[in-house]
Amino acid sequence: MDLIVTHQVADFDALASMIAASKLYPDSKLMLPGAPEKRVGEFLKTYSDLIKIEKEKTCDISDIDRLIMVDTRLAGRIGKAAELISKDIPVLVYDHHPTTGEDIKATGGTSEQRGATVTILVDQIRRKKLKISPLEATIMALGIYEDTGSLTYLSTTEKDMDALSFLLSRGADLKAISSYLNWQLTPSQTSRLVKLLGSVRIYQFMNKRVIINSVSSDRYVQDLALLTHKLRDLEGCDAIFSLVELPDRIQMVARSHSIHIDVGQIATQLGGGGHNLASSAVIRVLSLRQVEEKILNLLSRQLKTKFSSVRRIILDQMNSVTDEVVKPLLKKDLAARLKKTLPQRLYRILRLAGRIADENKTQAFAVGGFVRDLMMGVKNLDIDIVVEGDMEKFAKKLAKQLKGALVLHRKFKTATVVMKDKSKVDIAASRTERYDRPAALPEVDPARIRADLARRDFTINTMAIKLNFDCFGELLDFFDGQRDLRDGRIRALHRMSFVEDPTRIFRAVRFESRYNFRIDRFTEHLIKTAVSYNMFARVSGERLKEEVVLILKEKEPLKSLKRMAELHELRFIHPMIHFVPSLSHLLKRTEDVLKWYKISFPKKHLEVWLIYFLSLIDQLDLNQTEELLQRFPFRRKEQSTIRISKKADEAILNNLAKTKVIQPSRVYSLLRPLPKEAILKIMAKTPILRVRSRISDYLLNYLHVRIKIKGEDLKREGFKPGPEFGRVLEMVLYARLDGRVKTRSDELGFVRGLAKRHKRNQV
């Protein structure tokens, strides 16, 4: 009998090659040495009754008279099947990896450089005109898709494409394939990815950028290959090496994106294997530091150049860094603009801040949204000041001179001066931030203004205005913020921006729709990547809620929601919310209803964002709404509005939609228990004019109807104070709403009638 075996930690190409080999050698059993890659394991579990593969532990190899190795030629990678090699039996090898000095001597098989090993076997299946099932075709196609990066890797050959089209013609299921290829990271995978990200070291070999990351783990990381792929996409490098320090060995996975970097050769030198673009190794004799040194030396040799270690560079590759620090031409303009556009009180505060900075021999700057809006001529009275050096001393002086109250947040190196009229000035020490764990709160270190501006979200928010007397009004624009303002472009400062802080995605969308700007293409790509890596899962419900509310508070939330949906389908609010046309229509009608309300009641306060939110979650049922309330910490009143709206919506709509005449008192009694926000949501939800006009009658007319009689009148008629009072007054109100009583004496007459009936009933 034949034994078909592949390498440890089998990937889809390895599995596919085993299945394909079993077609060529039907009198065979298949054995997986050790555990496969996690996704392959999941796949095998799903199809366990259709795919028969034996485990290494339980597989009997005593009766094997021929060994067939696929996707490897290294004896060290096939587990106990290696014992067979020393026996005098034929060994056939099918492999697409380049040769190494340690390859076993095969007596047959085929080894060629192809994108995937299974391509070689599919070629033979075709030639022999063997039949394959759609499931087998699917597995084989998965192997090709995975090992060729969906036909994008440089190692892809025409034969891989041929094989793929043959497999598609044999029923390979693209839907199943893409569900395994577009593997969404689970929360624990995301956190492992984030751990790896936190350990990234970047090396520059002339124009080649190589990343090495390493973490410790007490267990073998099964999905290291997947995480390494994702990391490479995120970091955008020419090669990447992921190292995991286990108690007794080091696990390595390497990927290359350049024909000049052969990670297969490096893995071989470290005792592993693979091909030039993808490889892995398990290293037992070297320490982590030694492995890294060895990798760097081997890379130096391959690339014939020395390397330098680099920090993650701001605006790397994406942008040009502007060296010109000050734009002096603007100095006068800006000083004049500040004087002209700001209320005198605020202008004086800026001047005072400059003077205090001079006295303290420090530098002070107005920064952020305030500067952005000033440059655009948009009103913004929230002054943010950044101080280089002793922020506390500066803040104390400013508070004293403004006779304001000082609130210091020493931990965050920020302060707020609150004036008597409740207006505020925010002050911060200039700082740089280190994200030891992406999506977590950063560590804050003191720094000069440039570093402070470099940690910000978008170029348009990185401008600062000097406040010291000598240079008052000088603009600092290190990152071409002015150019992006002019071109209407939202541009992140570096590749990791949205991984470090995914809430910047909301900010980007907010600025885009507020100013009618456009997120630039590369920034959009970074957003989509961060979203696809499930980065939102790492943001607390509280921050997410804050950001959603801010979006809904903008002038045109529908525009932003559409954009959010484009970028990540609103999954982060609840997986069951889909931006389908019906939701888009509902949000549009919500916008119209709100316009109507504002015109009808210009002075009435309304939680506009909450109405949009109610519409946004219209697709959720009661249980899903409860899940949402668990995740997002809404205030008690907001929670109650959300629950009431969810419970009452349908019933009220059904009642109000009836074609027969409905008395105003009935409309009143239906709507009265609901908060205004929930009522307006119902109004937006219904396309039926009749219902809308019943609701608008309620808001415009019924709600303001008052009765003339008081409790005293009821007492006189013999009613006792207590719940009875409330009931009677309500009946009078209903009578008035329905036009059955019009004057105070009508009301008294009505009450008398009630009193008589009441007495009769008591007798």
Nearer to ligand ATP, 384 or 477 (CB): 384
Angle between helices 391-402 and 344-359 (to 10 degrees): 140
Among 7, 397, 504, 681, contact with ligand ATP (rule: CB under 6 A): 504
Residue 604, SS3 per DSSP: coil
SS3 annotation, 531-596: HHCCHHHHCCHHHHHHHHHHHHHCCCHHHHHHHHHHHHCCCCCCCCCCCCHHHHHHHHHHHHHHHH
- Alpha-carbon span 274 to 225, nearest angstrom: 12
Q: Which of these ranges, 99-107, 330-338, 497-505, 567-575, lies near ligand ATP under the rule CB under 6 A?
A: 497-505
Among 79, 368, 438, 557, contact with ligand ATP (rule: CB under 6 A): 368
Q: What angle do CA 275, 276, 279 make, to 5 degrees?
A: 50
Shortest distance, position 456 Cβ to ligand ATP, whole Å:
4
- Alpha-carbon span 260 to 357, nearest angstrom: 54
- What are the residues whose beta carbons fall under 8 Å from the beta carbon of 626, sequence distance 6 or more? none
Q: Which of these ranges, 256-264, 310-318, 502-510, 587-595, lies near ligand ATP under the rule CB under 6 A?
A: 502-510
Nearer to ligand ATP, 98 or 369 (CB): 369
- Residue 651, classified by CB atoms within 10 Å of its CB into exposed (0-12), middle (13-18) or buried (19+), is exposed
Shortest distance, position 472 Cβ to ligand ATP, whole Å:
21
Q: Is 477 in the site for ligand ATP (CB under 6 A)?
A: no
Nearer to ligand ATP, 507 or 631 (CB): 507
H/E run at residue 449: helix 449-454
Shortest distance, position 196 Cβ to ligand ATP, whole Å:
22
Nearer to ligand ATP, 238 or 457 (CB): 457
Q: Is 369 in the site for ligand ATP (CB under 6 A)?
A: yes
Is the backbone of residue 150 left (phi > 0), alpha (psi -120 to 50) or beta? left
Q: Strands, DSSP E only, in 71-153? A: 91-95, 108-111
Among 95, 160, 457, 677, contact with ligand ATP (rule: CB under 6 A): 457
Residue 603, SS3 per DSSP: coil
Nearer to ligand ATP, 214 or 503 (CB): 503
- Alpha-carbon span 234 to 209, nearest angstrom: 13
Q: How many residues bind ligand ATP (CB under 6 A)?
A: 10
Among 96, 97, 456, 494, contact with ligand ATP (rule: CB under 6 A): 456
Q: Is 501 in the site for ligand ATP (CB under 6 A)?
A: yes
- Alpha-carbon span 137 to 579, nearest angstrom: 35
CA distances to 3, 376, 580 from 479, in Å: 62, 17, 38
For the segment 707-726, give every residue that binds ligand ATP (CB under 6 A). none
Nearer to ligand ATP, 32 or 194 (CB): 194
Shortest distance, position 504 Cβ to ligand ATP, whole Å:
5
Q: Which of these ranges, 36-44, 286-294, 496-504, 718-726, lies near ligand ATP under the rule CB under 6 A?
A: 496-504
CA distances to 29, 239, 268, 315 from 205, in Å: 47, 11, 21, 19
Among 228, 256, 268, 503, contact with ligand ATP (rule: CB under 6 A): 503
Among 384, 474, 480, 547, contact with ligand ATP (rule: CB under 6 A): 384
Binding mask 91-130 for ligand ATP (x = CB under 6 A): ----------------------------------------
For the segment 636-675, give every residue that binds ligand ATP (CB under 6 A). none
Binding site for ligand ATP (CB under 6 A): 368-369, 384, 456-457, 461, 501, 503-504, 507
